[in-house]
Amino acid sequence: MYKMIIVDDESTALEQLVSVVDWELSGFEISGVFEDGESALEYLKKEYVDLVVTDIRMPGVDGIALAKYCYENKPDTLVALISSYDNFEYARQVVRYNIVDYILKPFSYVQITELLEHAHIMLDNKHSDSSIIDEEQLQREKFFSDLFFGNIKSDVTLAERLELINLPEETAEMSAVLITLTVENFDGYLKNIWKYGKDRFYCAISNISFENNTDRMFCTIMYSHNNIRIIGINKNKSENLHTVAENYCKRIITDLEEILNLECKIKISNEFDSLIKIIEEDSVSEITEPNKGENIKDKIMEYMKNNFLKDITLADLAEHMRYNKVYFCSFYKKHMNENFTTTLNRMRVEEAKELLKKPGIKPSSIYVSIGYKSAPYFYKIFKSFTGKTPADYKSELNKENGNI
């Protein structure tokens, strides 16, 4: 369970944040709630927390000051910003402070749970001995996943998100290619040749494939088992990106064979006049579904049905499905039309309704058996799905059955 604090000088927003979200289910424990940045700063100087969720504009010590303090003194602490100001000029000041996310008020339950899912994955990466992919790479993966899955819907948002990953606004107008790298005999290679684990393998691929200079950028953005997607962005309009990408593919194949003794196939799978054109695409299924032929939704639901009563996370499901964790956040939402936490809660509530049909079962006795660690959270989630408390639901069942 990761520790977090919430900071907001608006009492209504603070109350909403604390009461609406199932923090424990998302893998977080609230260790402090503050109505001003100064109190939060004093707490941070004495205590360690994994995540700070803070309003960006507050009197005195604001969210920018908190982000700066964490960046300089608590580098393992992530910061997420929430703001009622739809003006990115103010947020530009915190670009260099490794902000994990930035959302606007009024925020939705879905936005907050997605923020937590992403933060949890980044924290897992920080605390994993086997994963050494840096934060900048994780942020790039999240950006491009959101771009290709349609979560970035305007050129304004695109410009804002580019700046958060330290790319200039004019990148939005640059042409791009998507490259598919397919590893031959992936499982056999990991077992017999590599032997250092999948996370370190993907990190090695990321390091070898990364290229960033004044003319171009190439970086890995998506992994799904043996399929790795690389995006190339042309910074030099005088160059033909297709030709540049073809030369890049030849280099990568040679480097992977010489450095990792790895056999791969590589091809340019998509080309775009600009990143803005990706937003305008009606469908990017070919890009976001590298493993065609698999019934993804059925596989997800099979895993969920077998494990929803356990203490599972989105990262667990991503590992089971053989997708990289950051990419899988957007992937899951696209295929299931809801986020992971919503699916998990819905399935647990359905199980609770079945249990409450049994004679002698008390609402207070079932929350642990369906995966919740706190009765109040269970009651809150149950009511959000059914409109009734578990006790009221049980009482209505008894009346229908003539037991009262």
Instruction: Confirm whether 2-127 and 342-400 share one CATH topology.
Output: no
Q: Which of 154, 278, 148, 166 is nearest to 221 (CA)?
A: 148
* Separation in Å, CA 344 to CA 334, 382, 388: 16, 12, 19
CA distance 115 to 103: 9
Domain segments of the chain as ranges: 2-127, 155-288, 342-400
The C-alpha angle with vertex 252 and arms to 251 and 256, in degrees rounded to 5, equals 120
CA distance 299 to 357: 29
Q: Tell which CATH classification among 3.30.420.40, 1.20.140.10, 2.130.10.10, 1.10.10.60 matches the domain 342-400.
A: 1.10.10.60
pLDDT at 338 over 70: yes
What's the pLDDT at 281?
67
Place of tokens 């229908």: 400
Tokens, residue 20:
């609406």
Taking the CA atoms of residue 201, residue 340, residue 355 and residue 311 in that order, the dihedral angle to the nearest 10 degrees is 40
155-288 has CATH 3.30.70 classification: yes
Mean pLDDT of 264-269: 92
The Cβ of residue 258 has, within 10 Å, a number of other Cβ atoms equal to 10
Q: Give the confidence band of 302 by pLDDT, cuts at 50, 70, 90.
A: very high
- In this structure, are residues 343 and 238 in contact, taking their beta carbons and an 8 Å threshold? no
- In this structure, are residues 386 and 364 in contact, taking their beta carbons and an 8 Å threshold? no
Q: What percent of the chain has pLDDT over 90?
A: 30
Taking only the tens place, the pLDDT of each residue in 171-216 is 999 999 999 999 988 889 988 888 777 878 888 888 899 998 889 9
pLDDT at 293 over 50: no
Q: Higher pLDDT residue, 322 or 69?
A: 69
The CATH code of the domain at 2-127 is 3.40.50.2300
Q: Which of 179, 185, 188, 181 is nearest to 204 (CA)?
A: 181
Q: Higher pLDDT residue, 280 or 207?
A: 207
Taking only the tens place, the pLDDT of each residue in 110-147 is 778 878 887 887 787 666 544 455 667 777 888 888 88
Taking only the tens place, the pLDDT of each residue in 354-370 is 999 988 888 888 999 99
Q: Give the confidence band of 56 by pLDDT, cuts at 50, 70, 90.
A: confident
**Per-residue exposure over 86-119, b if at least 16 CB sit within 10 Å of its own CB, e if not:** eebeebeebbebbbbbbebbebeeebbbbbbbbb
Taking the CA atoms of residue 242, residue 244, residue 250 and residue 253 in that order, the dihedral angle to the nearest 10 degrees is -90
Q: Higher pLDDT residue, 116 or 400?
A: 116
Q: Which of 5-19, 303-317, 319-333, 389-403 has the highest mean pLDDT?
A: 303-317
Q: What is the mean pLDDT of the chain?
A: 83
